[in-house]
Amino acid sequence: MHATTDSQATTPAAAPGGRSRWLALYTLCAGMLMIVLDVTVVNVALPAIQDDLGFTSSSLAWVVNAYLIAFGGLLLLAGRLGDLLGRRNIFTAGLIVFTAASVLCGLARSQEVLVIARFIQGVGGALTSAVILGMIVTLFPEPREQAKAIGMFAFVASAGGSIGLLAGGVLTQAISWHWIFFVNLPIGVLTALLSVKVIEKDKGLGIGRGTDVPGAVLITAALMVGVYTIVKPAAELGWTAGQTVALAVVTLVLLAGFIVREATAANPLVPLRIFRSRTLTGANLIQALCSSGMFGIFFLGSLYLQRVLGYDALEIGLAFLPTTAVMGLLSMKYSDKLVMRFGPRRPLIVGLVLIAVGLALFTQAPVGGNYVVHVLPVLVLLGLGGGICFPAIMGLSMADVKPEDAGLASGLIGTMGEVGAALGLAVLATLSATRTASVSATKPALEALTSGYHLSFAIAAVIVAAAVAIALTVMRPAKATAEVEPTEDDTVALEAA
């Protein structure tokens, strides 16, 4: 991909042993899986947490929002810190913070302690996940291996959420909600120890090469205020409410200040030259749009299964397993071969189209829906689309990035996904609730709920269709991977797929 710099000479990418690189990849994926699982595990356990600690319906949202604000706000800064201080250092530090905060969450006996601990968890999650993709592209500079490694990472990052639904249901029903946090302790400790053992230490560029305190403060504040605006006043009061508009203006002012700062700083936190790449810019826009549609639908789809079809937490987790299985099969066995054979752009477009079709199909699920007829085909299409397009997005987001900016680009694609997910969830949930309220006077309760869900599913399909348009018009075919000839084994695997 790029030549390795002196600061990266000690990374595993330069190590002679290939086995150590794959062990390092498994360790990175284990850390990411723990972060991803935590999001959906907590969602399943929210009713039990509410009953135990006495949260109101409005205050309960802060169990999720506190994590989301810290996580989304710090991803970009964490990615750049990885470039400056060493990505392994930031990854390991994030694991330690996340694990310690998980124990504090599990021990919480009051609302205040749980919300504060969740915020600290978000800090640890941002530090851990922001640098992973940058480490992967450094570990695997050869295109074929890189495509395979990114496919594995994309599967963990995108499919882990549905596994969390199942794990959350089992732990909450079999033991208690405290254990959804306690299970992170052995996983976090083991992953942190392995990170020191199997991931060779990188020196980083040094704090003097990119220290930009004003820029860091501006972008972190902008992201935190922006995410807060989405998940709190916009979702609860509406997009035109005075508080929402005021905070949106504050967010824009902070972003404008950040851009001015980065254009004039000697050592900017985010060099604006990175956005000259149409591939990187397009990949980040697609990531934001795709996350907006997918994350909101997993949430609202779960509500459809629960409130309309009467599923419990464990049944919801089992219902979403086909998405995980299909996505895992493609990501682990075929997505890298598709990218090597056709380049990342064409698989990206095909995957996005499959997702959009699946979301549109979900608008036909009725009140008395049948899982096999009305839900399973949707989940299979989402799994197919996600398994094909997410690895391509990850690869494209790093394709034109210099080695010294890998952490920044990794944090950027994570930030776009997180902010896109928050925005999509807030928009779709708000519009769904508004539609349900408007038709509830003339239709039965279940029909009104279903009508609201149908509207959100249709809008999500339109959002992903917009991502298809960007892929067709903005993205350039990646020459590096498209020029690699497939092997005979690859051709056989492609024909099987």
> How far is Cα 189 from Cα 191, in angstroms, rounded to an integer?
6
Query: What pLDDT, on the 0 to 100 scale, is given for residue 211?
Result: 62
Contacts of 215 by beta carbon, 8 Å cutoff, 6+ apart: 258, 261, 262, 265, 268, 269, 270
Query: What pLDDT, on the 0 to 100 scale, is given for residue 485?
Result: 44
> How far is Cα 177 from Cα 379, in angstroms, rounded to an integer?
27
Asked if 319 contacts 375 with a C-beta cutoff of 8 angstroms, the reply is yes
Burial class (CB in 10 A: 0-12, 13-18, 19+), 257: middle
The long-range contacts involving 16-24, CB below 8 angstroms and separated by at least 24 positions, are 20/198, 20/200, 21/139, 21/140, 23/194, 23/198, 24/135, 24/139, 24/198, 24/199, 24/200
Query: What pLDDT, on the 0 to 100 scale, is given for residue 98?
Result: 94
Q: How far is CA 437 from the centre of its chain?
A: 31
Query: What pLDDT, on the 0 to 100 scale, is given for residue 477?
Result: 52
Length of the chain, in residues? 497
Query: What pLDDT, on the 0 to 100 scale, is given for residue 124?
Result: 92
Asked if 359 contacts 460 with a C-beta cutoff of 8 angstroms, the reply is yes
270: left (phi over 0), alpha (psi -120 to 50) or beta: beta
The torsion angles phi and psi of 267, rounded to 5 degrees, stand at -125, 80
Q: CB neighbours (10 Å) of residue 310?
A: 9
Per-residue pLDDT of the chain (497 residues), as tens digits, is 333 333 333 343 333 345 688 888 888 888 888 887 777 777 777 777 878 888 765 567 678 778 877 887 787 788 778 877 888 889 999 999 999 999 999 998 888 899 899 999 989 988 888 888 778 877 887 777 877 787 778 777 766 666 666 677 677 666 778 888 888 888 889 988 988 888 877 776 666 655 677 877 888 788 778 877 876 787 677 778 899 899 999 999 998 998 898 888 877 777 777 787 788 888 889 988 988 888 777 778 877 888 888 887 677 777 877 887 787 777 667 777 777 788 778 888 999 999 999 999 999 998 888 889 999 999 899 888 888 888 788 778 777 777 766 767 777 777 787 778 777 777 787 788 888 888 888 888 889 989 989 999 999 999 999 999 998 887 755 444 333 444 444 444 434 44
Q: CB neighbours (10 Å) of residue 363?
A: 17
Asked if 182 contacts 102 with a C-beta cutoff of 8 angstroms, the reply is yes
Helices (H), 140-212: 143-174, 179-182, 184-198
Query: What pLDDT, on the 0 to 100 scale, is given for residue 270?
Result: 75
Q: Hey, CA dihedral for 464, 469, 475, 479, is it positive or negative?
A: positive
